């Protein structure tokens, strides 16, 4: 995971930097492998804004939040991204289960085809006899 942070109209402090790195670590429970996290923090009209962009080989997520304090804004934007990631992770899990369902379905189709072959064979045996 690569974390890149940019500040606009706001001082870069070690406390904010540390908080952002801690918040970024939460994403590893949803995403395996390499991905980049781009943070942009800025102040506009007295409100603090934070934006996150997650980029990976097969995905891209974006969230933006604002509030009167920067720390509250960081919490809000992380919650938005986590919601997106948990929804996607749920879809990935369901996709895996659908693969298993297809295998079970194929077994049922194979059984039906065998039953049809038996019925055809039985009719053939009756006609021959």
The reply to whether 115 falls in a domain is: no
The reply to whether 54 falls in a domain is: yes
The reply to whether 108 falls in a domain is: no
Distance in angstroms (rounded) separating the CA atoms of residues 11 and 13: 6
Least confident interval from 16-30, 45-59, 104-118: 104-118
The reply to whether 97 falls in a domain is: no
As a whole number, mean pLDDT of residues 6-23 equals 91
Find out whether 88 and 59 touch, Cβ atoms under 8 Å. Answer: yes
Q: What CATH number is attached to the domain comprising 41?
A: 3.30.160.100
Position 55 pLDDT exceeds 50: yes
The reply to whether 32 falls in a domain is: yes
**What is the C-alpha end-to-end distance of the chain, expressed in Å?**
74
As a whole number, mean pLDDT of residues 44-48 equals 92
The reply to whether 14 falls in a domain is: yes
The reply to whether 8 falls in a domain is: yes
Position 69 pLDDT exceeds 90: yes
Find out whether 41 and 5 touch, Cβ atoms under 8 Å. Answer: yes
Q: Domains in the chain: how many in total?
A: 1
Distance in angstroms (rounded) separating the CA atoms of residues 64 and 77: 6
Domain of residue 47, residue span: 2-92
CB atoms within 10 A of CB 66: 17
Find out whether 10 and 39 touch, Cβ atoms under 8 Å. Answer: no
> What pLDDT is recorded for position 100?
46
The reply to whether 106 falls in a domain is: no
Instruction: Report the predicted TM-score, pTM, of the whole model to 2 decimal places.
Output: 0.67
As a whole number, mean pLDDT of residues 105-113 equals 58
pLDDT-derived band of residue 31, with 50, 70 and 90 as boundaries? confident
Position 26 pLDDT exceeds 60: yes
**Residue 32: φ, ψ to 5°:** -100, 155
């Amino acid at each position: 995971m690569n974390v890149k942070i940019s500040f606009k109209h706001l001082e870069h402090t070690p406390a904010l930097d540390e908080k952002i790195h801690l918040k970024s670590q939460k994403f590893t429970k949803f995403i395996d492998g390499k991905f980049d996290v781009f943070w942009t923090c800025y102040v506009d009209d007295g409100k603090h804004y934070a934006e996150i962009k997650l980029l990976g080989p097969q995905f891209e997520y974006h969230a933006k939040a604002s509030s009167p304090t920067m720390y509250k804004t960081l919490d809000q934007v992380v919650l938005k991204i986590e919601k997106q990631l948990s929804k996607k992770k749920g879809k990935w899990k369901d996709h895996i289960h659908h693969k298993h369902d297809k295998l079970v379905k194929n077994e049922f189709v194979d059984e039906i085809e065998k039953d049809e072959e038996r019925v055809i064979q039985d009719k053939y045996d009756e006609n021959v006899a």
